[in-house]
């Protein structure tokens, strides 16, 4: 029944539209037409929803999509709709501690994306329901001046209704492709679980779940063999009026809805002219249960013969394509119609035809694109030839771009012949670039011609009329120079021609149609008059006549220039269908850029051509007048197009850095070794010969870089939709991206052996990295003038950003014990993502980046069990005395990753130190059970009552022995804490040294600001405002706010981290309320020191003095060899413990430190009493007391307190007279 009444109605409407003109239905688009305004507003909203769908799909977390390691970890709490069918599944998540932690992490990561998915699905549902309501109202006569048949038969109405219905289908197809059913279900489950019972709970949630549950879309490879049901069952959830679907199909099947036939007059271009409505037809046919696809053989034969006779890959929405051989394979009628039209033999013939046309068109393109070949005169004269060339090129390009993307194996074998596909791709891309260039040039030349058409017409008309007037005057005999040529008949004849020229006009359609005939008659008359004897014998008269004919012909060409020519070029040049197909040509584009630097201009024209994807949605949005939707849609597609443009042009910076890598490998790129002042000629000549080849290669590479940059700089500014792209900024941004990638790769290559580390194991990788970094940086600086950038500034910016990003990720991984999202860091750049864990960390190592690997290597190298030292900035091996960490190794580290890396390493060690400080507090708090604390308190009270006696020492020793092995966790935590703190202090020293050497004035100014800020912060806590003095806040009109002041102090604190002005041992790592620490903490620390006092190192036992002299070397100089012998002081052996104890006390109130010193003072008094009564002179007691005093004195210095502070707890005379031997 589709072939009879409805088809006749459609054809009758199309016939009326053709008779009335393409714009006869403009009333539907008028502001006063409610029906047209509603349709336009619906389409505007639908296109905005389509853009938002793309945004949501691009930003969907991998775990919701069911991909990546996060899904493997969070899978137990990321459920689909099966969780609603399983009794108690949600409750099990809430009652399992492991799942609760994962659930909270999932809430943090996925709640906002899930809300965004829900809003998107609700918007699609609303668009479909509003369109259905509009069509029902149109059928029921709500719009008084319109009914369904009238709107469908109207030229604009047929377009609007077809687009609105097809947009529902394209949204559903795109949704199932970009947001598959399982991903939608997971997002909806997350939305429900985390919003139920809150203000975000949605009433329409059950309906959304019913409509957008998984449609069981098969995998792409299984689409061809799928059973009936997809996607028509998915479409059936959003039913449209059956009568509307049938009328829309009838119009799209039989007519030319967009009137594109006038742009494609040749019959072989019919399928290309109908490509836009073919995409609409593809989407609409899935409604109403796909009945036409299944059983209407006659309709499908007509559809295939008219629309898909030579094309079977159709672009249906925003560049997304569908292979009809795959999507229509389950439907008998559609499959039969396609099988009759599309065969391997016909496909091979079509491919050969298009390749031949493309080859011929490329020759024409090359002729038109020659320098100086195209001028305004040529464009005006050969407009039809240029349009024909563009038409042939674009139709062949469209076929060769889309049809080879088919998934049918038989056709793939035909279209992708071995050794042939790559050459076809290269030829096709070059033809596409040339076509885009010609279109751009024709537009640029045709635009001014059309703009000044009226002025040119008037000027040519006046000039032609003046020619006739001059000739008439000449033959009047009144001319001053020639009075013997009077001819009254010729004078009157030329006056008549002048009058006819003056009467020429094109103000009405009738005059325009008759203009060419009138001008032809005038030109023929001028040619005939040349045969007269009086005229043929006078060259100047012949010249006048030829000039007049030329002006008359130019008048006709000028009138033929109109906006219709631009519309034809726009329709023919449409490349929106290739939005996805061109992604496969990115490597070919890179090869084109590497081969020819001038191809940048051609690719720029190609990107402008690709911007045609904005035309279809923005046309309806602008007609609806919705600026919000226009901004949303144009910004998304413009940014996507800009990203594609940048990804293609990124090949130029990539080639530049490959050349820089080759330059850095040449000796000529490095400063020559110092030469002697007097050098033999033979040696000088040999040096020149050795460096000649290297200098030649450097010169060639530098010239190539200059040519690449020149090609970018010569390209014009490009406006892609709503984005303005400057080639110079693209170049600089590309260099920044590539530099960041190179820096990240260099840092990722820094690894250390996992076995027991030696100094050489750490130094060798650092030296290798330092040499690579230095070579790349110098090569970059070598060509910075050619690139037009400040290489050093760009280097520091990207190195700093990369290091700060890695530090951010390491901090979260250390503190939260899971990998954070990269986007959570303010230093993350989606255009230049930095891998975390990097390539070295992902190969099984537990580290994520060079920061943690270097920190682990330093900690292992300076392990207190195998090394001692650190107070003076050097660490030595306990057994051999060999230097294992000193300024030389730290300088290599600074050369390898600069001040940013040193600061990041210090920060990371500080976070680890904070963890050890917390472990020390936990260990100290758990050392004594609550029932033993009373006994300990009584024993200490008794010891204080007998302070200074032998009995006090005995009581304290007995109490310390009760701790036993329970003190080992506390000692380990303190030692590790001190080890990290000493490493940080040494790293800060390196930072300060380089800051004062590289920028002394800036370093001094920053240090002064830091000190002033610290003093200001201290004074603010106690100083009251003086009412008699004006404040700066009185002038700026605001009061001193804590936010402003704290922000300033924070910025200063961050600024001083890079030069290392802070003292790690004086920093606060924990916020500990005074009441939260156990009262016996000071006692536990004191008893731990008493029972675990470090012994004097073995190598120093033979020395009677040296407790204060540090390291005394038996062989002069600082050597790294294993034969170096050294004597260590007690403090060097206990350095980590001293620093750890000082760091822990820094986190506690001063009273805790004084309480500990008081108890240790009583212990010292007891040792004095024991030594006085001992038979052997108390040598052991004196030694133990001396070691304790040295330890406490060094601890106080680290805390910033004078050693005299001990006098409050031990007599000052005892400190002065304490024997050192």
- Average pLDDT per block of 10 residues along the chain, 1221 residues long: 35 39 56 89 95 94 88 88 83 84 88 95 96 92 84 90 95 94 94 88 92 92 89 94 93 90 89 92 92 92 93 88 94 94 93 93 92 87 91 94 92 83 88 92 89 86 86 74 68 86 81 80 84 76 84 84 87 89 88 82 86 86 91 90 87 88 69 67 75 80 85 76 80 88 90 84 93 89 85 90 91 79 81 79 65 92 89 88 90 92 93 91 77 70 74 81 80 93 93 90 89 72 43 39 71 83 85 72 85 62 35 36 50 88 89 86 81 71 81 88 81 56 42
Choose among 278, 340, 178: nearest CA to 325: 340
Q: Where are the alpha helices (DSSP H) in 679-787?
A: 681-714, 727-748, 759-782, 784-787
DSSP conformation letters of 471-490: HHHHHHT--SS--S---HHH
DSSP 583: G
Q: Which residues fall within 8 angstroms of residue 1076, CB to CB, at 6 or more apart?
A: none
Choose among 1139, 1167, 1141: nearest CA to 1152: 1141
Q: What is the pLDDT of residues 149-208, one digit of tens each?
A: 889 888 899 999 999 999 999 999 999 999 999 999 999 999 999 998 888 888 999 999
Q: Would you state the pLDDT for residue 240?
A: 94
Q: Domain boundaries in the chain?
A: 2-341, 343-451, 453-561, 908-1022+1041-1217
Q: Would you state the pLDDT for residue 1115?
A: 34
Q: Which residues fall within 8 angstroms of residue 799, CB to CB, at 6 or more apart?
A: 743, 897, 898, 900
Choose among 1141, 1077, 1084, 1082: nearest CA to 964: 1084
| Calpha distance 699→783 (Å, rounded) | 11
| Calpha distance 79→81 (Å, rounded) | 7
Buried b (16+ CB within 10 A) or exposed e, 227-265: eeebbbebbeebebbeebbbbbbbbbbbbbbbbbeebbe
Choose among 1146, 1143, 755, 1089: nearest CA to 980: 1143
Q: Would you state the pLDDT for residue 758?
A: 87
First to last CA, the chain: 117
> Rounded to the nearest 10 degrees, what angle do helices 488-502 and 453-476 cross at?
170
- The residues that bridge with 724 in the sheet, in sequence order, are 719
- How far is residue 258 CA from its own chain's centroid? 38
**Residue 604 structure tokens:** 């720029």
In sequence order, what E strands does 12-82 have? none
| Calpha distance 395→271 (Å, rounded) | 9
| Calpha distance 397→54 (Å, rounded) | 27
> Rounded to the nearest 10 degrees, what angle do helices 421-451 and 383-402 cross at?
150
Choose among 794, 764, 782: nearest CA to 666: 782
Q: What is the pLDDT of residues 536-565, one digit of tens each?
A: 777 888 888 888 888 888 888 888 888 888
Q: Would you state the pLDDT for residue 933?
A: 66
Q: Would you state the pLDDT for residue 1189?
A: 84
DSSP conformation letters of 856-898: HHHHHHT-TTTEEE-TTS-EEETTT--EEE-HHHHHHHHHHHH
- 3-state secondary structure at position 1034: helix
DSSP 827: T
Residue with tokens 């090609």: 711
Q: Which residues fall within 8 angstroms of residue 132, CB to CB, at 6 or more apart?
A: 238, 239, 240, 241
C-beta separation of 1057 from 1148 below 8 A = no
> Rounded to the nearest 10 degrees, what angle do helices 887-925 and 1135-1146 cross at?
60
> Rounded to the nearest 10 degrees, what angle do helices 242-254 and 7-20 cross at?
60
Q: Please give the C-alpha separations between residue 22 and each of 248, 399, 570, in angstroms, as whole numbers.
A: 18, 28, 17
10 Å Cβ neighbour count for 268? Answer: 12
Q: Which residues fall within 8 angstroms of residue 15, CB to CB, at 6 or more apart?
A: none
Choose among 203, 230, 43, 216: nearest CA to 118: 203
**Residue 1104 structure tokens:** 């009677």
| Calpha distance 1067→1143 (Å, rounded) | 8
**Residue 816 structure tokens:** 């939260």
C-beta separation of 276 from 316 below 8 A = no
- The residues that bridge with 433 in the sheet, in sequence order, are none
- Going 455 to 456 to 461 to 464, the CA torsion angle's sign is positive
Residue with tokens 């036992």: 1101
Buried b (16+ CB within 10 A) or exposed e, 821-849: ebeebebbbeebebbbbbebbeeebebbb
**Residue 623 structure tokens:** 């007609």
The region that residue 904 occupies, defined by phi over 0 for left and psi between -120 and 50 for alpha, beta otherwise, is alpha
C-beta separation of 28 from 157 below 8 A = yes
Pairing of strands 718-720, 320-323: unpaired
| Calpha distance 77→82 (Å, rounded) | 12
**Residue 701 structure tokens:** 């590479």
Q: Please give the C-alpha separations between residue 182 and each of 177, 187, 244, 898, in angstroms, as whole numbers.
A: 12, 9, 32, 47
In sequence order, what E strands does 47-111 have? none
Choose among 422, 742, 720: nearest CA to 591: 422
Burial classification of residue 367, based on how many CB atoms lie within 10 Å of its CB (0-12 exposed, 13-18 middle, 19 or more buried): exposed
Q: Would you state the pLDDT for residue 1112?
A: 35
Residue with tokens 């016996």: 1080
Q: What is the pTM of this model?
A: 0.81
Long-range contacts at 706-714 (CB < 8 A, ≥ 24 apart):
706/786, 707/597, 708/597, 708/652, 708/655, 708/656, 709/652, 709/656, 709/786, 709/787, 709/788, 710/597, 711/597, 711/598, 711/599, 711/600, 711/601, 711/652, 712/600, 712/649, 712/652, 713/788, 714/600, 714/601
> Rounded to the nearest 10 degrees, what angle do helices 599-610 and 586-595 cross at?
150
- How far is residue 480 CA from its own chain's centroid? 79
DSSP conformation letters of 322-380: EEHHHHTTT-HHHHHHHHHH--HHHHHHHHHHHHHHHHHHHHHHHHHTSTTT--HHHHH
| Calpha distance 958→124 (Å, rounded) | 79
């Amino acid at each position: 029944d589709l072939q009879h009444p409805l088809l006749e109605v459609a054809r009758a409407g199309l016939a009326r539209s053709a008779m009335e003109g393409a714009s006869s239905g403009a009333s539907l688009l008028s502001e006063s037409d409610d029906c047209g305004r509603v349709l336009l507003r619906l389409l505007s909203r639908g296109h905005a929803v389509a853009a938002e769908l793309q945004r949501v799909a691009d930003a969907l977390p991998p775990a919701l999509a069911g991909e990546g390691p996060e899904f493997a970890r969070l899978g137990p709490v990321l459920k689909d709709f099966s969780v609603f069918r399983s009794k108690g599944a949600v409750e099990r998540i809430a009652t399992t501690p492991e799942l609760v932690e994962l659930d909270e992490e999932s809430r943090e990561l996925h709640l906002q994306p899930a809300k965004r998915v829900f809003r998107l699905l609700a918007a699609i549902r609303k668009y479909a329901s509003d369109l259905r309501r509009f069509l029902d109202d149109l059928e029921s006569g709500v719009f008084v001046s319109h009914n369904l048949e009238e709107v469908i038969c109207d030229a604009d109405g047929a377009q609007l209704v077809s687009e609105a219905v097809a947009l529902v289908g394209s949204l559903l197809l795109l949704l199932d492709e970009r947001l598959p059913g399982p991903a939608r279900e997971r997002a909806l489950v997350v939305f429900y679980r985390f919003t139920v019972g809150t203000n975000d709970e949605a009433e329409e949630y059950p309906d959304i779940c019913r409509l957008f549950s998984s449609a069981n879309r098969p995998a792409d490879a299984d689409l061809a063999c799928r059973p009936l049901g997809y996607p028509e069952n998915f479409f059936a959830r959003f039913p449209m009026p059956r009568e509307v679907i049938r009328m829309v199909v009838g119009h799209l099947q039989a007519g030319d809805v967009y009137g594109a036939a006038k742009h494609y007059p040749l019959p072989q271009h019919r399928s290309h002219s109908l490509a836009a409505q073919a995409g609409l037809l593809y989407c609409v046919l899935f409604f109403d249960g796909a009945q036409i696809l299944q059983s209407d053989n006659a309709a499908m034969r007509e559809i295939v013969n008219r629309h898909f006779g030579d094309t079977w890959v159709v672009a249906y929405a925003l560049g997304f394509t569908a292979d009809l051989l795959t999507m229509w394979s389950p439907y008998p009628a559609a499959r039969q119609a396609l099988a009759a039209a599309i065969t391997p033999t016909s496909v091979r013939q079509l491919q050969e035809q298009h390749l031949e046309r493309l080859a011929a068109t490329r020759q024409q393109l090359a002729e038109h694109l020659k320098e100086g070949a195209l001028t305004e005169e040529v464009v005006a004269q050969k407009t039809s030839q240029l349009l024909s060339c563009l038409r042939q090129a674009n139709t062949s390009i469209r076929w060769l771009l889309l049809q080879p993307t088919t998934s049918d194996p038989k056709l793939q074998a035909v279209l992708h012949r071995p050794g042939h596909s790559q050459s076809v791709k290269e030829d096709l891309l070059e033809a596409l670039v040339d076509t885009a260039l010609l279109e751009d040039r024709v537009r640029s030349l045709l635009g001014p011609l059309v703009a000044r058409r009226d002025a040119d017409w008037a000027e040519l008309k006046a000039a032609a009329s003046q020619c006739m007037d001059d000739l008439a005057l000449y033959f009047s005999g009144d001319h001053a120079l020639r009075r013997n040529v009077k001819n009254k008949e010729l004078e009157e004849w030329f006056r008549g021609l002048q009058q006819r020229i003056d009467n020429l006009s094109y103000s009405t359609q009738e005059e325009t149609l008759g203009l060419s005939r009138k001008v032809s008659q005038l030109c023929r008359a001028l040619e005939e008059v040349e045969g007269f004897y009086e005229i043929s014998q006078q060259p100047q008269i012949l010249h006048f006549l030829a000039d007049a004919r030329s002006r008359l012909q130019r008048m006709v060409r000028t009138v033929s220039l109109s906006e219709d020519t631009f519309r034809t070029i726009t329709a023919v040049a449409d490349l929106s269908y290739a939005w996805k197909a061109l992604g496969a040509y990115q490597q070919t584009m890179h090869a084109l850029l590497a081969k020819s630097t001038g191809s940048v201009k051609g690719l720029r024209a190609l990107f402008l051509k690709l911007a045609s994807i904005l035309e279809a949605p923005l046309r309806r949005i602008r007609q609806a007048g919705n600026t919000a939707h226009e901004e949303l849609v144009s910004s998304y597609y413009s940014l996507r197009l800009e990203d594609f443009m940048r990804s293609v042009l990124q090949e130029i910076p990539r080639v530049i850095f490959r050349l820089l890598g080759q330059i850095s490998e040449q000796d000529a790129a490095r400063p020559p070794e110092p030469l002697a002042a007097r050098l033999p000629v033979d040696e000088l000549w040999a040096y020149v010969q050795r460096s000649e080849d290297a200098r030649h290669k450097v010169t060639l590479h530098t010239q190539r870089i200059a040519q690449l940059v020149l090609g970018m700089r010569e390209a014009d500014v490009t406006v892609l939709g709503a984005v303005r792209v400057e080639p110079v900024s693209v170049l600089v941004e590309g260099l920044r991206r590539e530099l960041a990638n190179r820096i990240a790769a260099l840092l990722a290559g820094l690894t250390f052996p996992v076995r027991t580390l030696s100094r050489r194991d750490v130094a060798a990788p650092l030296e290798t990295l330092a040499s690579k970094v230095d070579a790349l940086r110098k090569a970059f600086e070598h060509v910075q003038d050619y690139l037009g950038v400040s290489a050093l500034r760009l280097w520091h910016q990207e190195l700093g950003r990369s290091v700060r990003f890695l530090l951010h990720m390491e901090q979260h991984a250390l503190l939260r014990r899971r990998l954070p999202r990269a986007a959570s860091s303010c230093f993350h750049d989606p255009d230049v993502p930095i891998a975390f864990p990097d390539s070295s960390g992902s190969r099984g190592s537990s580290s994520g980046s060079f920061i943690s690997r270097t920190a682990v290597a330093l900690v292992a190298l300076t392990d207190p069990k195998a090394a001692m030292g650190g107070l003076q900035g050097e660490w030595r091996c306990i057994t051999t005395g060999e230097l294992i960490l000193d300024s030389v190794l730290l300088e290599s580290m600074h050369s390898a990753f600069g001040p940013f890396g040193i600061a990041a390493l210090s920060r990371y060690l500080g976070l680890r130190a904070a963890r050890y400080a917390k472990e020390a507090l936990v260990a100290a708090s758990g050392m004594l059970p609550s029932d033993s604390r009373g006994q300990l308190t009584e024993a200490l009270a008794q010891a204080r009552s007998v302070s200074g006696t032998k009995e006090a020492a005995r009581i304290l020793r007995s109490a310390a022995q009760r701790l036993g092995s329970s003190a080992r966790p506390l000692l380990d935590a303190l030692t590790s804490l001190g080890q990290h703190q000493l490493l940080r202090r040494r790293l800060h020293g390196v930072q300060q040294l380089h800051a004062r050497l590289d920028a002394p004035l800036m370093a001094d100014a920053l240090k002064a600001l830091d000190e002033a800020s610290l003093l200001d912060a201290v004074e603010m806590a106690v100083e009251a405002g003086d009412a008699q003095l004006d404040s700066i806040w009185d002038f700026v009109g605001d009061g001193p706010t804590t936010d402003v002041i704290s922000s300033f102090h924070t910025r200063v604190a961050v600024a001083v981290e890079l030069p290392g002005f802070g003292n790690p041992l004086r920093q606060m790592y924990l916020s500990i309320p005074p009441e939260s620490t156990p009262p016996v903490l000071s006692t536990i620390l004191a008893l731990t020191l008493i029972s675990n006092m470090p012994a004097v190192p073995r190598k120093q036992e033979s020395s009677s003095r040296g407790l204060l002299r540090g390291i005394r070397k038996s062989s002069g100089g600082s050597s790294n060899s294993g034969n170096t012998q050294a004597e260590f002081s007690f403090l060097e052996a206990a350095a980590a413990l001293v620093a750890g104890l000082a760091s822990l006390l820094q986190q506690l109130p001063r009273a805790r430190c004084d309480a500990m010193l008081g108890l240790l003072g009583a212990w010292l008094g007891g040792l004095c009493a024991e030594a006085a009564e001992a038979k052997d002179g108390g040598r052991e007691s004196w030694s133990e007391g001396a070691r304790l005093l040295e330890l406490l004195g060094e601890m106080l210095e680290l805390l910033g307190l004078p050693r005299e502070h001990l006098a409050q707890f031990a007599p000052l005379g005892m400190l002065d007279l304490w024997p050192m031997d």
